[in-house]
Structure 1
Amino acid sequence: MKQLLSGQNIIKSYGVGEEKHRVLNGVSVTIGSGEFVSIMGPSGSGKSTLLYALSGMDGIDGGEVSFEGRKLSGLSDDALSDLRRSRMGFVFQQPALLKNLNLLDNIMLPQMRDRRRNVRQLNQKARDLMEQMGIGNLAERDITQASGGQLQRAGICRALMSEPEIVFGDEPTGALNTKTAKEIMELFTKINRDGIAILLVTHDPNIAARTERVLFLCDGEIVDECRLSKFTKWDFDNRVGEITKRMQKIGI
């Protein structure tokens, strides 16, 4: 498997002076092309911090992060922004959508910054993605008139507009009910089967069970790892059981 993303000896701290707190303590991790990986750990363990560090959304105090062999530390702010916009997708627990735009325009907006793009092509691509995500009939809907699941589907569409190599998800199902969370994870599984790598943070073993590799983070360090086969619904209970056992072992 080709290496897509790597972090070596990542150190990240917050605060200053006596209040300075190290959140990531020399974390090393690699993500392969097309891999489906989740990060689990207790609150405050550094899960989201690690995700933001690997995506270049947040700087680090030590170590190195590389994307396809390119060190992020060697990129200018503009080059790093271009890399994130063109090669990475992001899905958050609460989709950051603008209230004065409808769903379609919110999906298109990040890619509109590149003036070389054809607006008509962007419009059609966004509509095609909305169809694939099951919200094709909601293009003109105001975000205040959409459910949480519909907004998250729109967030996934937005993440896929650039045809990214990897999608980062920070608790993408955390604000959803069980049924909707399952539907969203089925979409992530489909996306991954299309060859896009996914790295997501979750506290739910039912979500992590749908990934291929689970990293367990505790006190800023990776303390365990669980490798799973490609997800099939037939072995779901066994996968959840294995992850839960690992969680209990490390006290999550």
Structure 2
Amino acid sequence: MNVLVYLTIILFLLMKLIGGEKGTRSFTALFLNAGVLFLTIFFMTVQAINPILITLAASIIISCINLFYINHINLKSITAFLATIFTLLFLIILIFMIVNRSMIQGFGIEEIEDLTSFTLYVGVNFTTLAICTIIMGAIGAITDTAISISSAMSEIYLRNPLLDRSSLFKSGMNVGKDILGTTTNTLFFAFTGGYLALILWFKDLAYTFGEVINSKVFSSEIISILFIGTGAILVIPITAWLSAYLLTKYKVDLTINKIIST
């Protein structure tokens, strides 16, 4: 317990020192998001409410916290929010199509022994639960990429307000290409670090490559990562286009967040 307290204090001090007021809000947002997550899990147990609708509502709330609470309500946060919503809606269609066909819901045979003392009658369809898990996992990467692109393009336009829409869009896409490589690598190493023990277990069990790929535990995580990566990629051109359109349509004083219509 003491270790958790010390690490939390160190995290807060570093965020406060480097990020200032925004760092403090970012630290507070961690706990707000955790509260939203716990409430989402609680409401999922209510039989009368569709878990997917709950997850979508939670995703919107989390997006508002990450974008509007941390960055305030301004053009770049509004743009990032709209791009997040558009990307999420498109991604949901893909998730429904693929999850129902891939049969990744439920638990793999590697997990059965650990679950023997628990009941699987949780009152939620496991296919629905798999969809909710992917949506919740994707929202963080999507909002992070969206605000990165929107913030960079706002800064570019602030420094050179004479840029036309096409040039500004190309600048946003160039920023997105740089972010793209680090984002996909982050997702890959997050999976590798989190499931390193599982990979070593597969080796001890002498699984063939085909058995590893077809393992439900492995394939479900890979599919989740691919969905999250797809969302992080799709949000780049959407955010770049929205930012270019809104910044050139409105003359924006980014220092006071005031929008003056042309």
Shorter chain as denominator, the TM-score bin is 0.3 to 0.5
TM-score by length of 2: 0.31
More helix by share: 2
Greater share of strand? 1
Structure with higher Rg: it is 2
